[in-house]
Amino acid sequence: MAEGICSGQSELFFPPPAERPQARLKREAAARSICQSCPVQLECRTYARIHREHGFWGGETEEERTLAGFAPPHPIGAARLRAVV
Ligand code: SF4
């Protein structure tokens, strides 16, 4: 985590209460853009998957982690995922 380049930008990686879908897409796109330049992206993604984290980690949304088989215990985007799957 010390080598991550997202320090101080947690508002991009975790949703505010009652975030609207369009705002979520915009926030996650900004977070993804940062992750793509991060030297520890793979390690970060692996950590989030193993620890079933909430939020955006390692270039991956909760929904993407869930689809990869690493669902968080209470996914924030579960309703949205059910609508997609
Ligand atoms: S991969 Fe993304 S979330 Fe993980 S440390 Fe890097 S910038 Fe932060």
- CA of 56, closest atom in ligand 1: 3
Atom 2 of ligand 1 has which residue's CA nearest to it?
Answer: 35
> What is the domain partition of the chain in residue ranges?
10-84
Under DSSP, is residue 31 helix (H, G, I), strand (E, B) or coil?
Answer: helix
- Cβ proximity of 49 and 13 under 8 Å: no
Convert the pLDDT of each residue in 38-54 to its tens digit: 999 999 999 999 999 99
Cα of 78 vs centre of ligand 1, distance in Å, is 22
Model pLDDT for residues 53-72, shown as the tens digit of each residue: 999 999 999 999 999 999 99
Ligand 1, atom 5: closest residue by C-alpha: 4
**What letters, b where the CB count within 10 A reaches 16 and e where it falls short, cover 34-61?**
bbeebebbeebbeebbeeebbbbbbbbb
Are the beta carbons of 53 and 64 closer than 8 angstroms? Answer: no
Q: H or E segment at 29?
A: helix 21-35
- pTM here is 0.86
